Structure 1
Amino acid sequence: MDFSGKIIAILQPKGGVSKAGNEWKSQEYVIENHDQYPKKMCFEVFGTEKIEQFAILMGEELTVSFDIDARQWQDRWFNSIRVWKVERIGAGMPLAAGSPVPPPPPTAMPDFITGDTKDDLPF
C-alpha cells in the first residue's frame, strides 16, 4: 500500500538488543496527506541501513510504500506500519541555482529537405 503526503513529525529513535544479542534500531515518522480532511499516519522504518538510506527530513513530500502487521501482547493487539520504500515527490523539480543544466531533449520532428519533390503517396 502507498500513502503520499508531507512529513510533519520525526519521533525519537528507538533501539536495543534482541534476545539473540543483535542490536536493532527503528525510527518513527508522521506523514499527513493533502485531502480535504487530512489524514495522518505514523510509520516505522526499521534498521540502521534503511534509516540512513531513506534519509527522511522534516517537511519533505513523500510517497511511502508500506506493509501493515498486527501482533498480540497481553491479550491486546497492536498494529505496526513498516515502510519498505520511499519516493520523493517532485524529484523532477527544477534544479537549484548553480546546478548543471541538462541539454534539451532531441526533437521528434525529422528535418525535411526543401528540394525533395518526389512523392510516393497514392493520394
Structure 2
Amino acid sequence: MELAGKVIAVLEPRGGVSKSGNNWKVQEYVIETHDQYPRRMCFDVFGEDKIQQFNIQIGEELNVSFDIDAREWQGRWFNSIRAWKVERVNADNAQMPPVDAPFPPVNAAPAAPVDFAATDEKDDLPF
C-alpha cells in the first residue's frame, strides 16, 4: 500500500534486546494527507540501518510504501503499519497536474475563439 503526504511528527526512537539477544530499534512517524479532509497515519520504520537510510524529517513531503499487519497480545489486537520504502516528493512537482490532466494549467494562454461566421456552409441542424 502507499500513502502520500507531509510528515507532521517524528517520535522518539525505541529499542531493546530481543529474546535471542539481538539489538533492535524502531522509530514512528506521523504523516498527513493533502485531501479535502486530511487523514493522518502513524507508521514505523524498523531497524537502525533503515532509520538512518530514510532519514525522515518533519515537514518533508513523502510517498510511503508500507505493509499492514495485526497481532494479538493478551486477548487484544494491535495494528502495525511498517514502511518498507520512502520516496521524497519534489514540492514543485506536487503542485503540477499530471501530464494527461483534462484541464489546462491555470496560467495557460486562452485559446483563440472560433469564428463560426467565417464559413459559407449552411447550418443543417434541425433546431
2:50 aligned counterpart, secondary structure? helix
Whether the 8 Å contact between 2:61 and 2:91 is mirrored in structure 1 is no
Q: How many residues align?
A: 93
> What does residue 90 of structure 1 align with?
90
TM-score, length-scaled by structure 1: 0.73
> What does residue 77 of structure 1 align with?
77
CA distance in 2, matches of 1:87, 1:52: 14
Is structure 2 residue 51 aligned with structure 1 residue 51?
A: yes
Cα deviation, 1:31-77, whole Å, max 9, x if unaligned, reads 00000000000000000000000000110000000000000000000
How many Å apart are 1:91 and its aligned residue?
7.7
Higher helix fraction (1 or 2): 2
How many Å apart are 1:28 and its aligned residue?
0.1
Long gaps (5+) in structure 1: 94-123
Structure 1 residue ranges (4+ consecutive) displaced by more than 3 angstroms after TM superposition: none
1:51 aligned counterpart, secondary structure? helix
Whether the 8 Å contact between 2:69 and 2:81 is mirrored in structure 1 is yes
> What does residue 24 of structure 1 align with?
24
Q: Against the structure 1 CA distance between its residues 91 and 39, is the aligned structure 2 distance closer, same or farther, given a 3 Å change threshold?
A: closer
CA distance in 1, matches of 2:92, 2:40: 25
Q: Identity percentage over the alignment?
A: 70
Q: Against the structure 1 CA distance between its residues 81 and 62, is the aligned structure 2 distance closer, same or farther, given a 3 Å change threshold?
A: same
TM-score, length-scaled by structure 2: 0.71
Long gaps (5+) in structure 2: 94-127
